[in-house]
Structures are given as structure tokens and as C-alpha cells.
Amino acid sequence: MALLHNRINNEELKKRLMGETDPRTTISFYNYFEILNPHEFRDYLYKHLQQIKVFGRIYVAKEGINAQISVPSNNFETFNSFLYSIEGLNGIRLNIAVDDDGKSFWVLRIKVREKIVADGIADDSFNMHQKGKYVNAEQMNVLLNDPDTVVIDMRNHYEYEVGHFVKALEVPSDTFREQLPMAVDMMKGNEDKNIIMYCTGGIRCEKASAFMLHKGFKNVFHLEGGIINYARQIKEKGLESKFIGKNFVFDERLGEKITEDVIAKCHQCGKPCDTHTNCKNDGCHLLFIQCEECAVQFDGCCSEECKEIYHLPEEQQKEIRKGIDKGQNIFNKSKVRLRPRLNE
């Protein structure tokens, strides 16, 4: 029986990935469909995908699957054939990364979850199959030129900050479960307008469009395949990009350029910058934007305080980290940021 969990440490896995000479392709996909036994399905996926050296992060739930992976390019057809052999996944769209060095993941992790997108919806009458209409890149651009169109970004604050569609409204929260009711409140009085929801790869905006219809809105659309698919379509068709800046992605790259515009600023000095990083202090790991100059000045840390901790002996750092719950440690100007202090 194949080993159904990885048992090699991350550093060794990263070293192996960097030593690979064959190219990899980064792919994301999802689908809402009924999975009767998620644990059994999870093991079935793991057994087959690890044989063809697929790396990445996959979530499985009774409501479907959500995956961000990298596949050795010479195994792509084998992967594609296996995926399409599964009922519920045959023919699904695969979002292929537009700015990809193949080094996005270094291990395969497949987890069973309650839902593939945590939504906080407890209403049994909610139906995911009653969702908004898909729009492709060309249709998105046309609708964006219509004054009766409202565009809602269903991503988190730190994603919106580095890139978004023109006219897009930000729902000011860092969790999808909070954004759903907030989007409904924001759109009260606009029930008859065209409402377009969008996100990174389509999974969040698809559920959001179904929720808006559930709440009585009429003309609801969602961007098929999200920003990733939009970027590919405008490139292939030579269309103007209505998305400006960088698309944040949830892998080692932390972003892929859609246009050359830099719309965000370094959180430390304020100069134009859209490079996300995690604070190197293991007791912090704050996700924030840092320019090259500040990265040198602060040694990749988010503050002088964290820089000071980062240069302490490891044993002393471990003592400081004891009992710290970092939670979702993300830079957001509207929220208080807590960091470990030297005297704590």
C-alpha cells in the first residue's frame, strides 16, 4: 500500500525541489460536487497523485474539491487523464499560472475539511447549484464599461491591496465568512444592478454569487476561473486588461504580475512596492509588503523589534515564542497588529 502521508522534513523537500531540472506547471482547480466519503476520496487522490510527483495543497469536503498544485510538465497528460477519469471532475477547467517558475510547492498535502471554502452559512435552504452567470474576459470588460455594473472583489484585504479590477469595491475583511453578509449589506438598494463577483481562481466568487441570489439579488455574475483565467484570456485574445497590478496567489510566489502597474506601497517606508513577504522572526511571520531597501535594513523583518529578536540565539527565541498564538497574522491598517515583545 502506498504511503498516504509525507514523512520528510520541509527543508529537505525544498532542497529536492530546487534541485529538479525538469520543468513544472502550476495549476489550480476546484469544483462543487457531492463527495459521499471525503476521507476515502482523499486517500484515492493521494495514492495516484504522489505517483506522478504532484506537489501542492488540496482540500476535500462533502461539497467538493479545491486544489492548488504543481505537476511535472512531462506528466501533465497523465495527470489530466487521471483527473478527468473521476466523476464530477471530468472536463473541469484547469487554471494554469501565468507567471510561473514551477517552484510553487514542494510537497503534496491533501486535507479533509468541513467545507472547501469556509463560508459561515448555516441556512439549510442555501443551494450552491443556484449560482450567478459565468462571464469570460471579454464579457467582463463589456460589463465593466456599463455604468449600471457594480464589481465586488471577494478576496481579502492583502490581495486587493496589490491588484484589483477598475471600479472594484473592496469588502473590508480578511475572512470570506465575514465578507458574505457584508457584501449583501453593501449592495442593499442595488438589487436590480449588474453585480459581478470575482476572486483569484473562481471558487469564492462562485459561492458568493449563489449567496447573493439567495438573498434576493437578480442580475448576479461571477468571473469564470477568476483573475487567473481572465489574465490568460486577455493575453490569448489581445484584450485590454481591466485588472491592474498583481494577482496575489497562495503559494511560494505570493503573486503573479498581470500588468506592470505597482499600486501598493511598502508598509515600512511608503515607496511604491507590491512584494509580499513573511516576517523572518519565527514568533511573528507577519505577512506584509516590503521593498528591497527595507528588506536589507530590517533583515526581512517587519520591525526593529522583530529584527532584534531574529538575531537572538535560537534557544532565547524559542523562550520568547512560548505561548504566542499568531493566528491569522496579516498586515491590515484597520486592525491592531500584535507582535511578541522582548520583555514578554
Task: For residue 268, give every residue at least 6 positions away whose Cβ sits within 8 Å of its Cβ, in sequence order, or none.
Answer: 290, 291, 294, 297, 298, 302
Which DSSP symbol is given to 75? Answer: G
Q: SS3 letters for 180-217?
A: HHHHHHHCCCCCCCEEEEECCCCHHHHHHHHHHHHCCC
DSSP single-letter state for residue 67: E
DSSP string, 78-143: HHHHHHHTSTTTTT---EE-SS--S-S-SSEEEEE-S-SS------TT--TTS-PEEE-HHHHHHH
Catalytic annotation present for 306: no
Q: Cα–Cα distance between 299 and 75 in angstroms, integer?
A: 39
> Of 222, 56, 259, 1, which Cα lies nearest the Cα of 131?
222
Calculate Rg over the CA atoms of the chain. 21
| Alpha carbon distances (Å) from 63 to 60, 115, 295, 301 | 8, 6, 42, 39
* Helix/strand/coil for 45: helix
Q: Confirm if 152 and 168 have CB atoms less than 8 A apart.
A: yes
How far out from the chain centre does Cα 251 lie? Answer: 8
Gap between the terminal Cα atoms of the chain: 48
Considering only CA atoms, which of 173, 180, 40 is closest in space to residue 118?
A: 180
State phi, psi for 220 to the nearest 5 degrees: -110, 130
Q: From the candidates 199, 205, 294, 301, give the one annotated as an active-site residue.
A: 199
Q: Catalytic positions, please?
A: 199
